[in-house]
Amino acid sequence: MSTVGSIIEGASRKPVTLATLGGMASRGEPFACLTCYDASTARLLEQAGVHLLLVGDTAAEVILGLPRTIDMPFEVLLALTAAVKRGAPHTVVMGDMPFMSYQASADKALENAGRFLVEGKADIIKLEADASFGPLVKRMASAGIPVCAHVGSKPQHVALTSGYKAQGRTREDADRVLHDARALEEAGAAMLLVEAVPSEVADELVAKARVPVIGIGAGTACHGQVVVLHDVMGLLEKTPGLADPVANLGPVIREAAMQWVRRVAERDFGGKTFRMRE
């Protein structure tokens, strides 16, 4: 039985670890990743057989209603990460280092990454990086902190790029993305994530990498694929189109809420009732 078939057993499934994902990558078995931000949803996603849950800084937008991912508060994301791990204890949980939680100093970055593992119960942390972050990644790895290095398009850099833009679309830019990935892997990154690059670039990156590579908007060659949960479940009115939705739950939730409004208006909402004791 394949790894995929053997893990879809709900809460009793065999725990998925970083080693599990490494084995799947080496055997050419794709692994599924989704963002997640709460324990109840995490439980359902684990039961569905999702291999990795990313507690992303996209929570700033889809959970907190903030306009940008860089507005994500560190302490809130830390709490959400722990919640997801409690809901999905047999799934790899990746904590996303929010903006300015690792850029100011190496000492603070190491402390914050450690907090994600200890307080956030994360199995691995992710940071947006280029080759210049090699020494930091090496220091984290030496301290026993698994790192996923995020290359390609980096949402925390939208102020520099005047918005979300694909990367690696020229040979020079593609070489830069590949150089960043190689340098960060050599520094000790346990995993790579590449976002919004042409499939040819991702193909070359995967062919050279010795660690699992997660893609988002980067073709089909990556070992794992991740997308924002709200996008793929049809919970938002507008999505970036990085993957086709697998459901359209927005209207379902709206209709259920409308039924509740009607039932309350009719004083016919059912449920448990209580009586006075004699």
| Cβ-contact 170, 146 below 8 angstroms | no
8-state DSSP, 73: -
Can you name the residues that pair with 126 across neighbouring β-strands?
Answer: 96, 148
Question: What angle is formed at CA 262 by the lines to CA 261 and CA 266, rounded to 5 degrees?
Answer: 120
Inter-helix orientation angle 74-87/39-48, to 10°:
40
**253 Cβ neighbours under 8 A, 6+ residues apart:** 235
Identify residue 15 by its one-letter amino acid code: P
**Catalytic site residue 195?**
yes
Q: How far apart are the first and last CA of the chain?
A: 61
**58 Cβ neighbours under 8 A, 6+ residues apart:** 35, 69, 228
Tell me the chain's radius of gyration from C-alpha atoms. Answer: 20
8-state DSSP, 64: T
Catalytic residue among 46, 128, 185, 195: 195
Distance of alpha carbon 62 from its chain centroid, rounded? 13
CA torsion sign, 15 to 19 to 21 to 24?
negative
Active site residues: 195
